[in-house]
Structure 1
Amino acid sequence: MIFSEVIESDSMPQDSEEASQDTAPKEILILPIRNTVLFPQVIMPITVGREKSANLVQHANKNNLHIGIVTQKDAQAEDPHIEHLQGVGVAARILKKITLPDGNLTIIVQGLHRFAIEEQVAFEPFLKVRYTKLADLSINLENKKDKALLSTIKDNVKKMVELSPDIPSEAQDAIENIDRPEFLVNFICTHINLDSKEKQQLLEQTTFAERGKKLLKFLSRELQLLELKHDISTKTHNDLEQQQRDYFIRQQIKTLQDELSDNSGQDSERLAKRGAEKNWGNPKVEATFQKELEKFARQNPQSPEYGIALNYLELMLDLPWATYSEVEFDLKKAQEILDQDHYGLQKVKERILEFLAVLKLKGSHSGSILCLHGAPGVGKTSLGKSIAKALGREYVRLSLGGMKDESEIRGHRRTYIGAMPGRIIQNLKKAGTSNPVFVLDEIDKVGNDFRGDPASALLEVLDPEQNHAFNDHYLEVDYDLSKVFFIATANDLSTLHPALRDRMEIIDLSGYTTEEKLEIGKRHLFPKQRTENGLKAKDLKITDEALLTLIEGYTREAGVRNFEQKIAALCRKIAKSVALEEKYSKTISPAQVEKLLGAPIFERENHQPYTTAGIAMGLAWTQVGGEVLYIESLLSKGRGKLTLSGRLGEVMKESAMTALSFLRAHAEKFGIEAQIFEQYDLHIHIPAGAVPKDGPSAGITLLTAMVSAYTRRKVKSTIAMTGEITLQGKVLPVGGIKEKILAAKRLGVYELILCQKNKKEVDEIENFYKEKLNFHFVENAHQVIELALSDQMADDLKIEVRKNTSENKKRRPKRTS
């Protein structure tokens, strides 16, 4: 505390002050100050460093104006506005202005009265505000409460003067000589060792009871600190007889630590009590805990090992060793939850229900770990939440993408600084149960470097024969993971560790068909995005045709992530119209989609009748669903050369060569003269050449296009086909039947040629997907040609076959030497 100019400040004439307050204007210039607060009636020096503030002081002093002293909220603000200042300040008069040798300006001011800032009037050249005058502090010494409060404040200040070596003893006499209690309180508030926020709190108090109680609270705190320092100094002085002077500071620290009390006993008791109530489930784990607790009780709280041991014991107590969630065995309810949250994905749902059935009958589960494999956006991660909901278990998720440190899985040794358990144990602690649904996301993106191989560490986690005794390096106690339901997700199985893949049951999520995306959009995505964008059901609806336009014209994906983004874009544009009270259509149609989102990004293939021979329609599977694949073949005079174009892969090139070899071997059966293969070149092209194409399913389509080109018979434009061919003419089964069927149906093609062995896949497809479709199941290439070719001949190219006369030519006689 600074007890200077006490008598002078207290003896200032008050009549002139009151007069100045009566005549004070409603507007006042503001001088912002940092890290200090001025109180009424108190004289205080202020150093002015900012140029704008110095100009304000010069102007106010020259014109004999009062100024408002207000403390900044943010001391870093260089040119503060009204929002940077406290709401209550003190009007002051400038008593003296001093220019220091370094150019800085110091003024001595006296506080007059408090005021509350109402609004900013001007900012340049000086900050000026309109204010409301606030009543000054009033103390009634006839009131016993006020008198007792003031006396207590005085007593505390006297004790502080006695204990603090920095405050001169004359300050106590100076305080006794202050007659006005209001000035005494303001003076103490000014010079007590508080930060500016606490002083501002004192200034804003309107009554002496409020300010006095808060001041007394702060004085008590400061007095306790001084008493503690005094005690420490006293105790330390006795230990300095044989020590050097520079040891004084270290000894103070040691004594202070001793005063903080020894918490090791309290911590040990607390941990022991929790350990006695803990259900460990395994005597070995409990024995390990008790052993570590005994070692912990003997440690010094100031040692570095104390904190490490405390963290370890608390981790053991926080882990759910024998805590399990009650599993719901209502299979019908589980199926309803899965159907409600996810449309389609029948194989996955069936596998989950199988798991529940085994769990219900056996009481426990063991076996393969599920791995959901599919393209981004098909619902792999969100499916884990639905499974946890259906099972009634806790849900935790661990993202493995980019993980390269083996310690992330197994944890760090406790000997290292900053050691912590692996993320498997951390997530179990977070779940609070030992049988959660645990999703290992992006397991195919685990890397490895000099810090180890996390994929190998996951082998112990995911192996049903080992994970009942998973050992974390930090925990150093086997933890049973056999009750955890692990679900992994992956986008690409080729990058997955082979041993890790062997321990998991792969379930393919091939993606959603257009029909499935339509249902997902209607049931889940559109209602969700409508709500998230602040719209109600009455504000916006969307037609099925508009959703189909989004699916086919604006997205090309296996999942529904981009589909949801497009729906969100539509909802945002409608939300803007609603907020601006603009007119808009409450039902989104395909025309509205194009108006709001612009022209479609992707164009749908339109099927037209073939105008020439050599064109056949095949069906292909892609990650974004089924696609129609047109194969074009063209003959030109030449020497029997085969040309393939359209970015074909090795498998499709081999299919084309196989089909051509079969055709040349059986030319007579198809009515083709053998000489045509030597006199005409064959060019096979598949449009969209920028898109790579490969896969063993285009064999019969290639053969049909070739036979059509050589015989000039047109292929029926109402028929599509898929299947591979062998050199013997056998038709082989292919995959992706459901997606291929739906692709043909979307194009308006209702007659399909498939391998006989694919009939079982067709039978498993829901009937509403197969409406109006006519299937032809074949076993050999001759059946394909008989079904696919029409009797209509193409007249755009006339093929003339020259008879081979090379045999009639005489051989040239051999030359002899």
Structure 2
Amino acid sequence: MNYTLNNFLHNLLLTDLAGEDTEDLISIITTDPNDDNEEKEEPTTLPILPVRNTVLFPGVVLPVTVTRKKSIRLVRKAYRGNKIIGVVAQKNITSDDPAVEDLYKIGTMAKILKMLVLPDGNTTIIIQGQSRFEIEEVVQDIPFLSAKVKYCTETFPNKKSREVKALVQSLKDAAAKMLKLNPEIPQEAQIALDNIDSPSFLTHFLSSNINVEVQLKQKLLEINDGVERGTTLLELMMKEIQLLEIKQEIQTKVHTDIDQQQRDYFLRQQIKVLQDELGFDGPDQELEKLRQTAAKKKWPEVVAKHFNKELDKLSRINPAAAEYPVALNYAEFMLELPWGEYTKDNFNLKRTKKILDADHYGLEKVKERIIEYLAVLKLKNDMKAPILCLFGPPGVGKTSLGRSIAKSLGRKYIRMSLGGVRDEAEIRGHRKTYVGAMPGRIINNIKKIGSSNPVVVLDEIDKISSDFRGDPSSALLEVLDPEQNSTFVDNYLEVEYDLSKVLFIATANALDTIQPALRDRMEIIDITGYTIEEKVEIAKKHLVPKQKAEHGLDVKDVNVSTPAIQKVIEDYTRESGVRNLERKLGALVRNIAKSKALEEEYKKTLEPADVVKILGPEIFDKEFYQDNETAGVVTGLAWTSVGGDILFIESLVSRGKGKLTLSGQLGDVMKESAVTAVSYLKAHAEDLHIDYRLFDQYDLHIHFPEGAVPKDGPSAGIAIFTSIASVFTQRKVRSHLAMTGEITLRGKVLPVGGIKEKILAAKRAGIKDVILCVKNKKDISEIAAEYLKGLTIHYVDRVEEVLQIALLPEKVNKPLQLTILDQQPAPANPNVISL
């Protein structure tokens, strides 16, 4: 048995086995028997008592429980005799009948101080070590083991030497530190150590009670030199002290943690009781409510499994931890999403048509396409169709069309402005492991609206940006693909959400900035500008009543006449849409509101003269067209981001060396068109009755007015060519004529885009004749007849046809006089100009 100092004192000091009081026992166990001057009996033959897990040292008192039959016989016989036995530790502790080979050679002669027979039949003896011996020869094995022994001599210097004093003090200090680190050892142990005077007995006493393996204790017993034994013992004690310090540190930390947990538990229980008293829900009730709500959700099994897993994880988190509110918000967000919750569609297409007509005047082709789209949706009950993209200039009603569609279907309406969005997380969301993580705008808006089949207008889809945070347009590829959006995964949500029932409608002002793959997923519906007649009707039915309501006027307070509205449209606005028109009408209504608030007299019906009085002088000329009294001035047609516009090209020749000058902030395409036109004219000068020598003797300057405005594109090719031909031939250009088209070096006229916007611009400027490429005839066929009223369209295939229509035979009033400086003979052709 392995008896530490604690075990020893408990068994000896705190029990009544020895029949002595505490002071007598301390005296017994702290007195070295070798200090007694009496001669001790040291028989040469000793009965050997094998012991397990312990080593007996000289002078040490030790209780031993004897259970083996051989050992019981040995103890009883010795107790009746001289009470002297030999105690030897076993090498193999598993052997129940150890032979001499299973025992160490060095043991301790002991005297039996007390023997007690226990009720279970075992015998306990209290023995005290006397002298160390070495087994020389076994003399008997039955009924118990006996052997001849040789006693070992111990060498220990004078205890008064400095070395011994230092060693003894170090041993006592180490022992005191061990006692301090082990609070379970009673205070009597320190008293016992203080009463030990013998250095030899001190080493034996501490060696017996140190908590080390039997092999190390046996090693200490076998050392004859006392200083060596003390030094080795001190090393073992220092290691034990280190282990005790680490153990105490760990226990202190664990104890602190347990105290903190108990404190937290106690506080949480108090909070729980208070919440129950006040009627508040604690964490457990809150989680239970989440489970009950989740049981009613119509979500897929995969989502339900994921939610329950998150809820189980949440139940294991301390409510005071920072992760708890994050996990709770995520669980609540999942519950707030409208899984499988849809609004019922109203597929009364006649009602839809009435709503579209009431909300939007004109746009017949667009409204027809929307009706077709909804008709297919009604028949198939499936949203797997191209995403509609309403394309056109600002102010033509693209966004409000989406609102009207939602209104007609009875669906909820979401508008998402994508202008300037450059973070992919705006579409896909952030992963919830990040601080401040949020779902994407699509999923978040669906949660707010409470329906899985809303109408979502993706406004300004052409103005999406991209940077180091990702490309939102690429993230939209999955959202807008009918084959993929049924399994859309938001990074924050982490599970699939079905977007296939959502009706997406995109709006754009330009198509060239939209990613090609994204554009391929959308059906482009072109919404061009309004005619003057359409704008008048829009103003009468929508804009004027809206402005009256916004400015606090009743219907009868003011009326804007049709001529006044037309005056505003023609002289104060120049746009494809109606935004500026609405602002100007707002200024008229605001003036009336001021007069009413001041109780002044005012006209209740506004006429064109009143418009000038309120808005000031006209901003734009009613006739944009300039006269044809100057050669080289041609009107072209251009497309802009706000609709169509007319463009003037002016050419002028001056004496020089054939230099070509271009001005007006032109782009590369227009510069190339000008160079192409000049080259073709030089190559075919004779066909136009132009002396080829003029190109070397005169400089040509082509100018596009409004030089501060950048200009580019292929629309001005034939207009530039006509302007150059006019200035060199000095022939007049047909009045009220405009043209658009590109030119090639072979003289072919190429088709261009934006025809409807250009036609509307021509009408606004008072143009009566328009020259187009013959291949643009298909674009004209798609324009309503009222847009073309008052216009004559001339279709051409080559530039010669353009000149036949555009240039008149008569010259300008004051023809330009040209003179050849080198006096070379003129060509024989009489039709060529003679200089």
Q: Please tell me whether the aligned partners of residues 375 and 511 of structure 1 are also in contact (alpha carbons under 8 angstroms).
A: yes
- Aligned pairs for 1:730-769 (under 5 A) are 730-769=748-787
- Aligned pairs for 1:168-317 (under 5 A) are 255-261=270-276, 263-280=282-299, 282-296=300-314, 301-302=319-320, 304-317=322-335
Please give the alpha-carbon distance, in whole angstroms, between the structure 1 residues aligned to 2:657 and 2:686: 20
Please give the alpha-carbon distance, in whole angstroms, between the structure 1 residues aligned to 2:775 and 2:769: 18
Residue number among 399, 412, 427 corresponding to 1:409 in the alignment: 427
Matched residue, 1:537 = 555
Q: Please tell me whether the aligned partners of residues 528 and 757 of structure 2 are also in contact (alpha carbons under 8 angstroms).
A: no
Matched residue, 1:329 = 347
Alpha-carbon distance, 1:368 to partner: 3.0
* Counterpart residue type for residue 544 of structure 1: T
Alpha-carbon distance, 1:385 to partner: 0.9
Matched residue, 1:727 = 745
Residue number among 433, 447, 451 corresponding to 1:429 in the alignment: 447
Residue number among 699, 708, 717 corresponding to 1:690 in the alignment: 708
Residue number among 469, 479, 495 corresponding to 1:461 in the alignment: 479
Alpha-carbon distance, 1:583 to partner: 0.9
> Percent identity at matched positions?
59
SS at match of 1:619: strand
Please give the alpha-carbon distance, in whole angstroms, between the structure 1 residues aligned to 2:312 and 2:632: 87
Please give the alpha-carbon distance, in whole angstroms, between the structure 2 residues aligned to 1:449 and 1:675: 57
Q: Please tell me whether the aligned partners of residues 373 and 507 of structure 1 are also in contact (alpha carbons under 8 angstroms).
A: yes
Q: Please tell me whether the aligned partners of residues 625 and 736 of structure 2 are also in contact (alpha carbons under 8 angstroms).
A: no
Q: Please tell me whether the aligned partners of residues 513 and 739 of structure 1 are also in contact (alpha carbons under 8 angstroms).
A: no
- Aligned pairs for 1:296-695 (under 5 A) are 296=314, 301-302=319-320, 304-449=322-467, 451-607=469-625, 609-695=627-713
Q: Please tell me whether the aligned partners of residues 714 and 790 of structure 1 are also in contact (alpha carbons under 8 angstroms).
A: yes
Please give the alpha-carbon distance, in whole angstroms, between the structure 2 residues aligned to 1:433 and 1:463: 20
Please give the alpha-carbon distance, in whole angstroms, between the structure 1 residues aligned to 2:297 and 2:289: 12
Deviations along 1:369-392, one digit per CA (max 9) or x if unpaired, are: 333344443333222211211222
Deviations along 1:141-164, one digit per CA (max 9) or x if unpaired, are: xxxxxxxxxxxxxxxxxxxxxxxx
SS at match of 1:260: helix
Please give the alpha-carbon distance, in whole angstroms, between the structure 2 residues aligned to 1:738 and 1:403: 31
Name the CA shift for 1:440/1:631 in 2 (closer, same or farther; >3 Å).
Answer: closer
Deviations along 1:721-778, one digit per CA (max 9) or x if unpaired, are: 2222222222222223223333333333322322222222222222222223322222
Alpha-carbon distance, 1:498 to partner: 4.6
Q: Please tell me whether the aligned partners of residues 573 and 581 of structure 2 are also in contact (alpha carbons under 8 angstroms).
A: yes
* Counterpart residue type for residue 275 of structure 2: L
Rg (Cα) greater in structure = 2
Q: Please tell me whether the aligned partners of residues 738 and 762 of structure 1 are also in contact (alpha carbons under 8 angstroms).
A: yes
Q: Please tell me whether the aligned partners of residues 511 and 623 of structure 1 are also in contact (alpha carbons under 8 angstroms).
A: no
Please give the alpha-carbon distance, in whole angstroms, between the structure 2 residues aligned to 1:451 and 1:712: 60
Please give the alpha-carbon distance, in whole angstroms, between the structure 1 residues aligned to 2:780 and 2:469: 50
TM-score by length of 2: 0.62
Alpha-carbon distance, 1:437 to partner: 0.8
Please give the alpha-carbon distance, in whole angstroms, between the structure 1 residues aligned to 2:691 and 2:388: 57
Name the CA shift for 1:355/1:660 in 2 (closer, same or farther; >3 Å).
Answer: same
Please give the alpha-carbon distance, in whole angstroms, between the structure 1 residues aligned to 2:265 and 2:331: 32
2:800 is aligned with 1:782: yes
Q: Please tell me whether the aligned partners of residues 557 and 623 of structure 1 are also in contact (alpha carbons under 8 angstroms).
A: no
Please give the alpha-carbon distance, in whole angstroms, between the structure 1 residues aligned to 2:553 and 2:377: 43
Ranges in structure 2 where 5+ consecutive residues have no aligned partner: 1-257, 827-835
Please give the alpha-carbon distance, in whole angstroms, between the structure 1 residues aligned to 2:811 and 2:439: 76
Please give the alpha-carbon distance, in whole angstroms, between the structure 2 residues aligned to 1:293 and 1:684: 75
Ranges in structure 1 where 5+ consecutive residues have no aligned partner: 1-242, 809-817
Name the CA shift for 1:398/1:512 in 2 (closer, same or farther; >3 Å).
Answer: same
Deviations along 1:149-183, one digit per CA (max 9) or x if unpaired, are: xxxxxxxxxxxxxxxxxxxxxxxxxxxxxxxxxxx
* Counterpart residue type for residue 596 of structure 1: I
Alpha-carbon distance, 1:801 to partner: 5.0
Name the CA shift for 1:333/1:276 in 2 (closer, same or farther; >3 Å).
Answer: same
Please give the alpha-carbon distance, in whole angstroms, between the structure 2 residues aligned to 1:402 and 1:629: 31
Please give the alpha-carbon distance, in whole angstroms, between the structure 2 residues aligned to 1:606 and 1:419: 56
Q: Please tell me whether the aligned partners of residues 325 and 392 of structure 1 are also in contact (alpha carbons under 8 angstroms).
A: yes
SS at match of 2:399: helix
Alpha-carbon distance, 1:346 to partner: 4.1
Matched residue, 2:227 = none
Please give the alpha-carbon distance, in whole angstroms, between the structure 1 residues aligned to 2:337 and 2:468: 31
Residue number among 706, 717, 736 corresponding to 1:699 in the alignment: 717
Alpha-carbon distance, 1:447 to partner: 4.2
Alpha-carbon distance, 1:492 to partner: 4.7
Name the CA shift for 1:709/1:482 in 2 (closer, same or farther; >3 Å).
Answer: same
Please give the alpha-carbon distance, in whole angstroms, between the structure 2 residues aligned to 1:441 and 1:415: 30
TM-score by length of 1: 0.63
Q: Please tell me whether the aligned partners of residues 633 and 649 of structure 2 are also in contact (alpha carbons under 8 angstroms).
A: yes
Number of equivalences: 564
Q: Please tell me whether the aligned partners of residues 383 and 482 of structure 2 are also in contact (alpha carbons under 8 angstroms).
A: no
